[in-house]
Structure 1
Amino acid sequence: MQRRSFLKLGIGSAVVLAVAGGAVALIQPGLLEGGQLSPAGRNVFAGAARALLDGTLPSDAAAQQTAIDGLLSRINDLTMGLPPHVQGELSQLLSLLDSAPGRIGLAGLGADWASAPVAQISTALQGMRESRLALREQTYSALHDIIGGSYFAGSENWAFMGYPGPTRI
């Protein structure tokens, strides 16, 4: 392939991917107006949380769902307080991760976040963490930091860190 043809193919592919990514973000945003988590955003965070918090989440299914619901509530509070431009970027990222092409291409996860086994999600997240592509590594860092910070912000989870809570005055 000639150099000029290769460049045209690369530019054309980038344009198609940008348009497709923008369309996905408009059709199924990761955040709703005001920064609230959309179903797509909730799906991504709940799935990633099952893997990132494996071992700290309760083993009972009902208790685990309650813990994840509390986590999603705290993440929702966080996203609503972000500046609008950060909300926009996070919304695009979440909508991309929730779509099948984005989930496969960016995270390397074939199954939907809700139905994928924890081991498969963990492998996908580890691949993102160790990736040479800055975008994949930054995506992992964003998920890790938002989920970890929001989970351990709940006083019911402090015991996992050995934190007894603030000193009573």
Structure 2
Amino acid sequence: MSAFSRRDLLRVGLFGSATLATAGLLGGLSGCSAEGPANGFIMLRDSDLPLLRRVTHVVLQGAVPGAKMPAAVQGTLHNLDQGLAHVSPALYRQVAQLFDLLALPVTRGPLTGIWSGWEQADGEAIEAFLERWENSSLALLRQGHAALLQMIQMAWYGRPESWQHCGYPGPPSI
């Protein structure tokens, strides 16, 4: 694997900064970033939920029986929301920028390949988006992939119903 030259590093940094600035600007203009929390949530906004519901559903496939999937997704989103309520304001702003970038049609389509919206995206399209970001030559997209999956997985594995699937007996009783 070849090392990045200084010029390549500057290009990636400029592209990443421009992308986040554009998402932030567009999010601010569309009211995304100023949006308050969704009903029943502390931090997650209505604009975040379609993305998170669909991606969480894909991430949990194989770990959750089909009939239990809606409750597992909803519970995972509430755990994620609780976790975001306890991060620093600076970290939450970065997470909100990632969600804005993925929610806005002008950035969502070109960056993810999901053109019609998260509600209409099928599992294969979401898996293709996740794979594309995981294997991207751009560090910013790889970091976005890692952040998105880690948040969802931490929220899921913090739930007692996930423990049996991975063989964890739960914390010892005191």
Fold match, TM over 0.5? yes
The CA deviation at 1:19 is 4.7
Give, in whole Å, the separation in 2 of the partners of 1:166 and 1:19.
45
Q: Report the CA distance shift for 1:30/1:106 in structure 2 as closer, same or farther (over 3 A).
A: farther
Unaligned runs of 5+ in 2: 1-13
Mapped pair 1:98 → 2:98: no
Higher mean alpha-carbon deviation, 24-33 vs 145-154, is at 24-33
Moved more, 74-83 or 98-107: 98-107
**With structure 2 as the length reference, what TM-score do the two structures score?**
0.78
Q: What is the distance in 1 between the residues matched to 2:124 and 2:115?
A: 13
Structure having the larger proportion of residues in helix: 1
Provide the aligned C-alpha RMSD in A: 2.6
Q: Distance in 1 between matches of 2:78 and 2:171?
A: 22
1:116 equivalent to 2:121? Answer: yes
Contact 2:20/2:101 (8 A) holds in 1: no
> Offset at 1:105?
2.4
Higher mean displacement: 25-34 or 82-91: 25-34
1:37 to 44, 50, 61: 44
Give me the whole-angstrom Cα distance separating, in 1, the residues matched to 2:171 and 2:94.
35
The residue type paired with residue 106 of structure 2 is: P
TM-score for both structures, normalised by structure 1: 0.81
Superposition deviation, residue 55 in structure 1: 1.1
Return closer, same or farther for 1:151/1:25 CA change in 2, 3 Å cut-off: farther
Count of residue pairs the alignment pairs up: 155
Among 55, 63, 79, which residue is 1:56 paired with?
63
C-alpha contact 1:35 1:80 (8 A) present in aligned 2: yes
* CA shift for structure 1 position 132: 0.6
How far is 1:42 from its partner?
A: 1.8
- Pick the structure with greater CA Rg: 1
Aligned residue for 1:143?
148
Whole-angstrom distance in 2 between the partners of 1:76 and 1:19: 25
Q: Deviations over 1:99-126 (max 9, x none)?
A: 1122122223223222211111011101
Inter-CA distance 50–44: structure 2 relative to 1 (3 Å threshold): same
